[in-house]
Amino acid sequence: MNATNAPAKPPFWRDPEKRALAFQIVFLAIVLYIGYSLVNNTMTNLASQGIASGFGFLSTNTGFAIAETLIDYNESSTYLDSFFVGLLNTILVSVIGIFFATILGFSMGIARLSNNWLISRLAAIYVDTLRNIPLLLQLFFWYFAVLRPLPNPKQAIEFGSNLFLTNRGLFGPKPIYEAGFGWVAIGFVLAVIGTVVLFKWARRRQEATGELFPVYRTALALLIGLPLVIAALNGFPMSWDIPVLKGFNFRGGMSLTPEFSSLVFALSIYTSSFIAEIVRSGILAVDQGQTEAAFALGIKPAWTTRLVVVPQALRVIIPPLTSQYLNLTKNSSLAAAIAYPDLVAVFAGTALNQVGQAVEIMGMTLAVYLFLSLTISFFMNWYNSKMALVER
Amino acid sequence: MIKKALLTTLGVALTSSLLMSTAQAGEVLDKVKAKGFVQCGVSQGLPGFSNTDVNGEWSGLDVDFCRGVAAAIFGDATKVKFSPLSASERFTALQSGEIDMLSRNTTWTQTRDTSLGINFAGVTYYDGQGFMVRKDLGVNSALELDGASVCTNQGTTTEVNLADYFRANNMTFEPVVFVKADEVVAAYDSGRCDVYTTDASGLAAQRTKLAEPAAHVVLPEIISKEPLGPAVRHGDDQFFDVVSWVINATVEAEEMGLTSSNISRLLVDSNSATPAELRFVGREGALGENLGLDAKWSYNVIRLVGNYGEIWDRNISGLELPRGLNNLWNNGGIMYAPPVR
């Protein structure tokens, strides 16, 4: 029992753990030093060249106008406001683009595997054509192809007497809520809660008795019917603001601009062609035996796809789908080419050129895209872990 | 692992040291002389100002001032390389040293002159912002444009002037803002907007690109002052002097009646030349030496590029714009060079 029997403790510079730690500390120090000198160097050079710096510009007035804004904005708003206008427009177009890209992509991916020769060929042509044309070209195609044939506001195409299609956009009536509309909103919330309860009850009943309940149809009836009944009881507390042609353009109502529509079109169609391939590979990754087993149990083909194949395919689909969502969000920055006021167009474009503070503005813009990307991947990772195969 | 880390570190260190060396710009004139050409930022295609022909050869007023600077420095007007830049790229390109000078129909404003680390070397074109509409719209004045859609370029003084003008006259408008001038023209031409606004010279130039140029009319209102001219980076006064005196020399030569075809006689025939002419071509005085250039710098500018009037006639007259303010001071305009002496 003396020290010589125990394995000799190596000197600390030979201890792999301590050595690794030391190297990491050195590495971190180098990285920090480089980061510090980059920032310091930039600041010094900006100062020596007489280029103004700092974030003071954010609270000054912009003096320029923006066409589409989700929040209140006018020429006397600040650069910080213009930042939020751009940010919200980017988020809006990304969310809507992701929504349509997912629906289109899943449909096309499944259609590509259809036993119907015509459907699968058409889906293949869709995917192969759209995947191979650069997004910017598609953007210009949609924008100018949509614009050219449309008439000017004075010769607008009318649908009924409330909907007008022109080369300035699609104009339609805008709802104006009156007193008593709050009850309708409450009714809708109740209908949503009712639907959730219904789903849970139907599942428990099915697990207990094996009987099916037509949940989808019931839920739909509930969601539409309940608010409608309440609205009728209150004498429909809503009126419509109809757009009217006044001067150069339609005023009032709601409008959908060609910039927004073509951006959503191009982004969702382009991305959907990639999603279609991801969905196809995901479905092909599910063993054929799963489908055969389901059929052997007498499950309907549509149910087999929905309940057996797609849930298993999702495990393969979600990780690459996340990158497509990230791509779509980042690609939305091409908006500036067709005059949609997204973050890059408004803030990194117009605002940057008015104040000229490239370092600060580009820094903020990069941080936003980083934040959006991290948010999407965080959410998708959470969904992925929820969808992952539960091993029993 | 350690190797990889070290390599990464080395890479980052190298990149950052590169950044440091470009950021600390030394004497621009010396660098230009050493590399043998002037890197000049121009617009991506504006007839009359900077445009390429089928052979990729640049021409235009902005282009000619780049050539003038090359002629002054090297005695060779072809020693220029052109960087086509969008409105939103131009200042960063100049600040970062990617180009030596910016000659891109850029408005001289106080904010730009004082906060961007650049200096404007003079005015080569006095312009103002105007509006163009389709004739069949029946509009005769910009004051009738309430509620119109207005197409314009991103990152210009135009956007702010536009908002100011409409606000001052209690009118509303819908801005439709594109990055590139070509897209503005295409969108205006396809009817997306009622109005196209930019500098009056730009309207005249872009009008030539429309499907039916005759179907459009430029409204009489000019809503801003837009003195356009070349800019250089802060920090090299000598290069600044060269660019500003090249501009002055072209104006002075027009005033003296010296042109690319008649200036050569001054080098051989001293008897008929006035003292001012002899000073101008560098046969007397030390004007070139003071600029750090050859004594014949201004002679080279005029012989190879021409005087201001020649540059104007060659490039702008095709746009059918009146010379107006851009006439010489003794001819009804405000083009005026300080004495070359």
Q: How far apart are the first and last CA of chain B?
A: 68
**Which of B114, B190, B234 lies at the smallest CB-CB distance from A147?**
B190
Task: State pLDDT tens for residues B295-304.
Answer: 999 999 999 9
Residue B294 resides in a domain: yes
Give the 3-state secondary structure of residue A37.
helix
Q: What is the pLDDT of residue B15?
A: 45
B239 lies in the same domain as B120 = yes
Q: Above 0.85 for ipTM, yes or no?
A: no
**Pick the residue with more confidence: A110 or A1?**
A110
**Pick the residue with more confidence: A223 or A87?**
A87
The mean pLDDT of chain B is 88
Yes or no, beta carbons of A337 and B91 under 8 Å apart: no
Choosing from B177, B193, B226, the residue where a domain stops is: B226
Yes or no, beta carbons of B19 and A66 under 8 Å apart: no
CATH number of the domain that residue B260 is part of: 3.40.190.10
Yes or no, beta carbons of B235 and A46 under 8 Å apart: no
Task: State pLDDT tens for residues A174-209.
Answer: 877 777 778 888 888 988 998 899 888 888 888 888
Task: State pLDDT tens for residues B3-43.
Answer: 554 444 444 444 444 444 443 334 889 999 999 999 999 99
Choosing from B226, B259, B276, the residue where a domain stops is: B226
Q: Which domain holds residue B221?
A: 127-226
Looking at the complex, report in whole angstroms how far the Cα of residue A258 sits from the nearest Cα belonging to chain B.
Answer: 9
> pLDDT category, A365, cuts 50, 70, 90?
very high
B255 lies in the same domain as B131 = no
B246 lies in the same domain as B213 = no
Residue B203 resides in a domain: yes
What distance in Å separates the CA atoms of residue B51 and residue B59, rounded to the nearest whole number? 6
Enter the DSSP assignment of B116.
Answer: B
Question: What value does the mean pLDDT take over residues A360-387?
Answer: 91
B191 lies in the same domain as B137 = yes
| Model confidence at A267: pLDDT above 50 | yes
Listed range (A168-172, A256-260, B67-71, B126-130) with the worst mean pLDDT: A168-172
Residues of B in contact with A66 (CB under 8 A): 175
Residue B340 resides in a domain: no
Q: What is the pLDDT of residue B16?
A: 44
Q: What is the pLDDT of residue A4?
A: 54
| Model confidence at A105: pLDDT above 90 | yes
Q: How many domains does chain B have?
A: 2
The mean pLDDT of chain A is 87
Residue B132 resides in a domain: yes
| Model confidence at A1: pLDDT above 70 | no
Residue B335 resides in a domain: no
| Model confidence at A50: pLDDT above 80 | no
Instruction: Give me the long-range contacts of A306-310 (CB less than 8 A, separation at least 24).
Output: A309/A283, A310/A283
Q: What is the pLDDT of residue A162?
A: 80
| Model confidence at A138: pLDDT above 60 | yes
- Strand A249-251 vs strand A244-246: parallel, antiparallel, or unpaired? antiparallel
**Which of A48, A251, A345 lies at the smallest CB-CB distance from B154?**
A345
Which residues partner with B101 through β-bridges? Answer: B40, B232
Yes or no, beta carbons of B163 and A31 under 8 Å apart: no
Q: What is the pLDDT of residue B26?
A: 42
B177 lies in the same domain as B318 = no
- The label of the residue with tokens 């390109």 reads B93
What distance in Å separates the CA atoms of residue A99 and residue A315, rounded to the nearest whole number? 19
B100 lies in the same domain as B234 = yes
> pLDDT category, A6, cuts 50, 70, 90?
low
Task: State pLDDT tens for residues B131-170.
Answer: 999 998 889 999 999 989 999 988 788 899 999 999 999 9
B46 lies in the same domain as B179 = no
Angular region, A212: left φ>0, alpha ψ -120 to 50, beta rest: beta
Q: What is the pLDDT of residue A48?
A: 77
Q: What is the pLDDT of residue B70?
A: 96
Joined tokens for residue B220: 């009489």
Q: Does B5 touch chain A (CB under 8 A)?
A: yes
Residues in contact with A259: Cβ distance below 8 Å, sequence separation at least 6, in sequence order: A67, A68, A143, A335, A338, A339, A340, B176
Choosing from B209, B226, B243, the residue where a domain stops is: B226
Q: Does B11 touch chain A (CB under 8 A)?
A: no
Listed range (A289-298, B142-151, B243-252, B262-271) with the worst mean pLDDT: B262-271
Q: What is the pLDDT of residue B31?
A: 92
Residue B182 resides in a domain: yes
Enter the DSSP assignment of B49.
Answer: T
| Model confidence at A3: pLDDT above 60 | no
Q: Closest residue of B to A74, CA-based?
A: B163
Give CA separation, B145 vs A169, B131, B158, in Å. 19, 10, 16
Give the 3-state secondary structure of residue B230.
coil
| Model confidence at B123: pLDDT above 90 | yes
Looking at the complex, report in whole angstroms how far the Cα of residue B248 sits from the nearest Cα belonging to chain A.
Answer: 26
Residue B21 resides in a domain: no
Residue A85 CB burial class (10 angstroms; 0-12, 13-18, ≥19): buried
- Report helix angle A79-112 to A258-284, nearest 10: 40
B202 lies in the same domain as B244 = no
B100 lies in the same domain as B140 = no
B65 lies in the same domain as B116 = yes
Residue B51 resides in a domain: yes
% of chain A at pLDDT higher than 70:
97
Yes or no, beta carbons of A65 and B176 under 8 Å apart: no
Enter the DSSP assignment of A210.
Answer: -
Give the 3-state secondary structure of residue B126.
strand
Q: What is the pLDDT of residue A392?
A: 62
Question: What value does the mean pLDDT take over residues A135-151?
Answer: 88
B169 lies in the same domain as B88 = no
B110 lies in the same domain as B155 = no
What distance in Å separates the CA atoms of residue B153 and residue B183, rounded to the nearest whole number? 9
Yes or no, beta carbons of B147 and A31 under 8 Å apart: no
